[in-house]
């Protein structure tokens, strides 16, 4: 018979540490002349329990329920406070499609805002300047008479392209615009006869009693 081994203090500490971890330290010896013990392979390790395994199926998650209720109440409050106004506004806009178009304000180009009166233009001694102002005045009046809303970026040619082809004296107006461009950008002189000729050709576009 082998003598039992005496375990020292450090050995006892080691055994205590591994036993706390669930490690089996017992050693079993079998008789070598006896048949081997039966090997059981059907054992399975225990599955760890889920965190919510102890919760019953009928238990209510009150924190989640309270937060959801607060969110729904806030949405309902906002809808009751502002939803009715939005609905009425949308109905009014749908029943009045021209309202949106009227709200879009267009500003004419600078040259068409204050062209001056016809009398002021006629009193200008520099016929080059007078011809340019005359073209701007006649063109702005003709565009407005046809109900065209000019854009701020339009040039005189842009405005001329939006005048209907059937407009009376359209050719005379085009000739006046081209002549004013030659004066502005080509430094061309204008005689008194040429100025009077353009004035007579486009006077009808200014209407009777134009000032």
Is 60 within a domain?
no
pLDDT at 180 over 60: yes
pLDDT tens digits for 110-148?
A: 777 777 788 898 999 999 999 999 988 888 888 888 888
Is 125 within a domain?
yes
Is 117 within a domain?
yes
3-state secondary structure of 200: helix
Which residue range is the domain that position 138 belongs to? Answer: 110-206
Q: Which two tokens stand for residue 188?
A: 């061309």
3-state secondary structure of 76: helix
Q: Average pLDDT in the 10-19 region?
A: 74
Is 174 within a domain?
yes
Is 53 within a domain?
no
How far apart CA 15 and CA 190 sit, in angstroms, is: 120
How far apart CA 90 and CA 48 sit, in angstroms, is: 59
Is 189 within a domain?
yes
Q: Are 109 and 152 in contact (CB under 8 A)?
A: yes
Q: Which of 83, 143, 91, 84 is nearest to 112 (CA)?
A: 143
- The whole-chain average pLDDT of the chain stands at 76
Is 127 within a domain?
yes
Question: What is the per-residue pLDDT for 126?
Answer: 92
Domain count, the chain: 1
Is 150 within a domain?
yes
């Amino acid at each position: 018979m082998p003598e039992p081994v005496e375990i020292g203090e450090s050995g006892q500490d080691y055994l205590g540490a591994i036993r706390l971890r669930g490690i089996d330290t017992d050693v079993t010896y079998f008789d070598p002349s006896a048949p081997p013990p039966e090997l059981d392979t059907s054992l399975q390790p225990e599955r760890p329990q889920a965190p919510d395994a102890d919760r019953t199926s009928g238990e209510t998650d009150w924190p989640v329920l309270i937060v959801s209720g607060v969110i729904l109440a806030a949405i309902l409050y906002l809808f009751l406070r502002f939803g009715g106004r939005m609905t009425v506004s949308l109905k009014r806009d749908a029943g009045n499609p021209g309202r949106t178009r009227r709200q879009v304000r267009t500003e004419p180009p600078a040259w068409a805002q204050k062209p001056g009166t016809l009398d002021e233009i006629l009193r200008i001694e520099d016929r080059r300047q007078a011809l340019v102002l005359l073209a701007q005045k006649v063109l702005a009046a003709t565009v407005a008479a046809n109900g065209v809303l000019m854009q701020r970026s339009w040039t005189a040619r842009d405005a001329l392209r939006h005048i209907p082809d059937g407009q009376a004296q359209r050719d005379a107006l085009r000739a006046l615009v081209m002549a004013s461009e030659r004066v502005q950008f080509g430094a061309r002189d204008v005689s008194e006869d040429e100025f009077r000729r353009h004035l007579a050709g486009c006077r009808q576009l200014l209407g009777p009693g134009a000032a």
